[in-house]
Structure 1
Amino acid sequence: MKSKPQSVLANGPDRCTTSSPAEVLRAQVCSNLELSFLMEAHDGLSAAIAERAGFKGLWASGLSIASSLGYRDVNEASWCQLVDAVERIVDSSKLPVLVDGDGGFGNFNNARLLARKLRQRGAAGVALEDSCFPKMNSLIGDRHPLADIHEFSGRLRAVKDTVAEDLVLVARIEALIAGHGMDEAILRAHAYADAGADAILIHSRKSTADEVLSFTRTWQSRLPVVIVPTTYYRTPVSAYRNARISTVIWANHSVRAAIAAMQQICRRIIAEEGVAGIEPNIATLDEVFELLRYDELARADARYLHPLD
């Protein structure tokens, strides 16, 4: 089955392109020539906002999608709920979407089923991490158990055999976060490259980028490297360009911004017993209507409901 055509519901007929979502994402992620950025999205609204801001690709964050559903990032949300959220993200922008697929929600069979369904819903790629099911968010606790290197390589091969080039396959290595050291991270990177990964995501929760930069020096760009600088956010982007890192993922910032803003507004409305004071600090309804293209609906109404008027 081929990739799902880009939907025209959200953005009209100009949405379609000659390149598939995977081809567009591959040009961004699978290159060391120019640093690319993927912005977190957890629903259709956050996807539309990221596109309007100027981002060229999206990260469908497992943490953010789970949080938006009221779940914890420990595989409490099902793969079906993830796939449904991804479909709304895909339908709400023209951008390619790399999906945080956790560990694939089980063994090789679960992983290839997830990949097939993501392809059907229009995703451009999937990142799978070498964690055990159910996973625990990488930034919580210590010494997370890792999947057996051979078993996880089998998951990657199963996904690649299922979707081939229709999805960009990113292998995410948790060895550094789990405390297994650089040698283990490099060993796993080589195994995952041999299993068919298109890029390697090396994860770290240190407050500096020393670990990931050390990894890139040792790895020597056998495959493009993707990073997630959630904890080492003070590192200047120039360091990543100098290291020939391919892609930076801003992995959870939209949902965190939304949480902070909603908490502040809710507290003020309770305290002030009204909304007059907060109106200047929130989006207008006109901004909501413009962002979600109510104007397109009005034009469609005139074309299809009243064609003779």
Structure 2
Amino acid sequence: MPYLLADDLPTESAGKRFRAALERPGIYRLPGAHNGQAAIQARNAGFDGLYLSGAAMTASMGLPDLGIITVDEVTFFIRQIVRSSGLPLLVDGDTGYGEALNVMHMVRSFEEAGAGAVHLEDQILPKKCGHLNGKALVSPVDMATKVAAAKKASRDIMIVARTDAAGVEGFDAAVDRARLYVDAGADAIFPEALNTREMFEKFAAALPNIPLLANMTEFGKTPFYTADEFEAMGYKIVIWPVSSLRVANKAQSLLYAAIARDGGAHAMVDAMQTRAELYETIGLHAYEELDASIVKTIVPEAVPQA
């Protein structure tokens, strides 16, 4: 139903709903959704939470994931995803967009936009994707200060501390940083770019009773594991951050190549979402029913292809 109807809106904050999801048995599965349409499709597939990746946001804007975008640009994505899906959303907060006060501003802005959780990382700007080389880290104390600031600014939104130390300073340093971040107020820990089952299991063993997040990104340092496998290793959340964007981008490249080759898109029709499917996904008729001045749209019949 349309988000315009008050009865369709959640009665609890996104943060409370995100926390409640973590209290359930099993692992919380959060596919990446890079826009409102993707968010609806993920919800319709049965997911009850989503992830908004900084890499997906920047790539969709034609930019690299180097900490270039601003808080206000991210809140635009948060609002459309939360509004369209109604689901609790974990948001990539990069390095917090500055120091302690900037982090607090980010947390308040994201929570007001409808985010249920945000993760903050311990890289130095310009940051890089967690599975790339050449990362540099802030001091553990500086990051702990940011985590504490984020916690002070939060109302219900969960604060997830990400550490990239495993690939920079070593596994033990990553564990030490994670413990410090928990002491500073982090609700969960995101150990980035672990690359063996043993590392995942050892990290979980080193931080018992702390919700841990696993990043199942493609083309990175982490081998492919299923949600059930991550759960067995001791993880409570798993994300697939850029998968939806990768699939959409690949499909678009094939479309443009076909138009350039064939002088039209006719060869790609079978790979397209139909007009009827689009209207069903976005709930066009439900919106039309809210305003009697709008004549109900009749979906044109498909034109036979020559």
**TM-score, shorter chain, exceeding 0.5:** yes
Which residue of 2 is the match for residue 226 of structure 1? 213
Which residue of 2 is the match for residue 200 of structure 1? 189
Please state whether the residue corresponding to 1:278 is helix, strand or coil. Answer: helix
Offset at residue 12 of structure 1 (A): 3.8
After TM superposition, the structure 1 stretch with the greater mean CA deviation from structure 2, 181-190 or 233-242, is: 233-242
Matched letter for residue 264 of structure 1: L
Residue pair 2:95, 2:125 contacting (<8 A) in 1 also: yes
Which residue of 2 is the match for residue 191 of structure 1? 180
Residue pair 1:63, 1:72 contacting (<8 A) in 2 also: yes
Please state whether the residue corresponding to 1:41 is helix, strand or coil. Answer: coil
Which residue of 2 is the match for residue 26 of structure 1? 19
Which residue of 2 is the match for residue 210 of structure 1? 198
Q: TM-score when scaled to structure 1?
A: 0.89
Please state whether the residue corresponding to 1:169 is helix, strand or coil. Answer: strand
Q: Deviations 1:225-275 (Å, cap 9, x if unpaired)?
A: 111022334224333222231011111100001111101111112111122
Residues 266 and 14 of structure 1: is their aligned pair in 2 closer, same or farther, counting only changes over 3 Å?
farther
Residues 233 and 27 of structure 1: is their aligned pair in 2 closer, same or farther, counting only changes over 3 Å?
farther
Offset at residue 32 of structure 1 (A): 7.6
1:275 to 265, 276, 290: 265
Which residue of 2 is the match for residue 92 of structure 1? 84
Runs (5+) with no aligned partner, structure 1: 1-7
Q: Deviations 1:76-111 (Å, cap 9, x if unpaired)?
A: 222221111111111111110111000101111111
Matched letter for residue 91 of structure 1: R
Which residue of 2 is the match for residue 114 of structure 1? 106
Which contiguous aligned blocks of 4+ residues in structure 1 show a shift greater than 3 angstroms? 8-14
Q: Deviations 1:35-62 (Å, cap 9, x if unpaired)?
A: 1100101211111111111111011110
Question: How many pairs were matched up?
Answer: 292
Please state whether the residue corresponding to 2:291 is helix, strand or coil. Answer: helix
State the identity %: 28
Write out aligned runs for 1:1-309 (5 A): 9-10=2-3, 12-29=5-22, 31=23, 33-142=25-134, 144-164=135-155, 166-178=156-168, 180-204=169-193, 206=195, 208-221=196-209, 223-230=210-217, 231=220, 232-302=222-292
User: CA RMSD of the aligned region, Å?
Assistant: 1.9
Residue pair 2:3, 2:9 contacting (<8 A) in 1 also: no
Residue pair 2:2, 2:286 contacting (<8 A) in 1 also: no
Matched letter for residue 149 of structure 2: A
Please state whether the residue corresponding to 1:37 is helix, strand or coil. Answer: strand
Residue pair 2:50, 2:89 contacting (<8 A) in 1 also: yes
Residues 133 and 152 of structure 1: is their aligned pair in 2 closer, same or farther, counting only changes over 3 Å?
same
Q: TM-score when scaled to structure 2?
A: 0.90
Counterpart-to-counterpart distance in 2, 1:41 and 1:268: 26
Offset at residue 158 of structure 1 (A): 0.9
Offset at residue 182 of structure 1 (A): 1.7
Residue pair 1:101, 1:127 contacting (<8 A) in 2 also: yes
Residue pair 1:41, 1:47 contacting (<8 A) in 2 also: yes
Matched letter for residue 291 of structure 1: T
